[in-house]
Amino acid sequence: MNVVITGGAGFIGSNLVHYWLEHHPEDSVTVVDSLTYAGRRESLGDLSSSPRFRFLEQSIADATAMDGAVRGVDLVVHLAAESHNDRAVAGPLPFVETNVLGTAILLEACRHRDVPRFHHVSTDEVYGSLALDTPTRFTESSPYLPRGPYSASKAGSDHLVRAWHETYGLRVTLSNSGNNYGPYQFPEKLIPLAITRLLRGGKVPIYGDGKNVRDWIYVLDHCGAIDLIAHQGRIGATYLVSAENERSNLDVVGRLLRQLGRGDDSIEWVPDRLGHDRRYALDPSRLRQELGWRPGVTFDEGLAATVEWYATHESWWSPLVAPTPGASA
């Protein structure tokens, strides 16, 4: 099978490319990535000599390039997106251009080239914010209530994917996941930011009171879910991907402090981010019941593996760390 993975030089994308080539030795994978700041060829450097791997440095907003990229392709897995909330607040228009316009252009290319299957990867943030004192979780039928430029742009892309299915019959599936963590994550996000700062003897910034809760999943568990949905998910269906692992930012940082032998004096409290959602939580019942998916990595196991990866791959992240205040989660 010929597979295109957009955003394949990014965090989730590069992990998915490695996962796919390992788990599907009969497939070939083409990565489409424009190599913005968070996309790194270095994350795929070990694959450069593989005859089953091809890299196209192209933007999904380039219609001519996308038409050529998806020609003769069996499956497109669409991850390409601008995704950092702080950057979206500071400058929202690139998020609209990539996440909304880029998705529409990619969908049109897939429609005209009769791509048999299209899987779209989205986020829990499209559903808005939940209160801390409720057991409520988002489901596939929850209304969309995005509260920031990033989540609004991803909500727009989700709606476009469904529209191309309903209007043109494009064979699509969608998935929304919580916060991913693991290798190759750009060190602006909470967990790699905390690890890299602690490894260098610095402090970890935490927004507000640190009680904001996120639904954490190890990236390779997410990759397994994408694989399963792309192959076996019902056409037109959405699946929520969750390890059912809700943790506050303060709890996450506390676990990292203990793993790295540091105390609470290594926390730096910073003013809260504009529009900072309080809690996200997903109900993965459909994914579990229809497709039998289960996560394979506990939170502590995943954190330990992530700390080990960053500790042994300083050459990957060292050029990327900068004195940028704040942590995104």
Query: Is position 150 annotated as part of the catalytic site?
Result: yes
For the chain, the maximum distance between any two Cα atoms, rounded to a whole number of angstroms, is 57
Using the CB atoms, write b or e for 259-270: b if 16+ within 10 Å. Answer: beebeeebbeee
Cα atoms found within 13 Å of the Cα of residue 172, Cβ hemisphere only: 27
* C-alpha pair distances (Å), 182 with each of 36, 222, 307: 20, 11, 8
Mapping DSSP onto H, E and C, the string for 160-212 reads HHHHHHHHHCCCEEEEEECEEECCCCCCCEHHHHHHHHHHCCCCEEEECCCCC
Identified catalytic residue from 33, 82, 124, 158: 124
Q: Residue 61 gets which letter from DSSP?
A: T
Q: How far apart are CA 46 and CA 175, in angstroms?
A: 28
Identified catalytic residue from 82, 140, 150, 280: 150
Query: Is position 127 annotated as part of the catalytic site?
Result: no
Identified catalytic residue from 125, 188, 215, 277: 125
Angle, in degrees to the nearest 10, between helices 299-312 and 249-259: 60
CA-closest candidate to residue 253, choices 278, 279, 298, 216:
216
Query: Is position 124 annotated as part of the catalytic site?
Result: yes
Q: How many CB atoms lie within 10 A of CB 113?
A: 16
In terms of phi and psi (left: phi > 0; alpha: psi -120 to 50; beta: otherwise), the region of 11 is: alpha
Question: Any idea which residues carry the catalytic annotation?
Answer: 124-125, 150
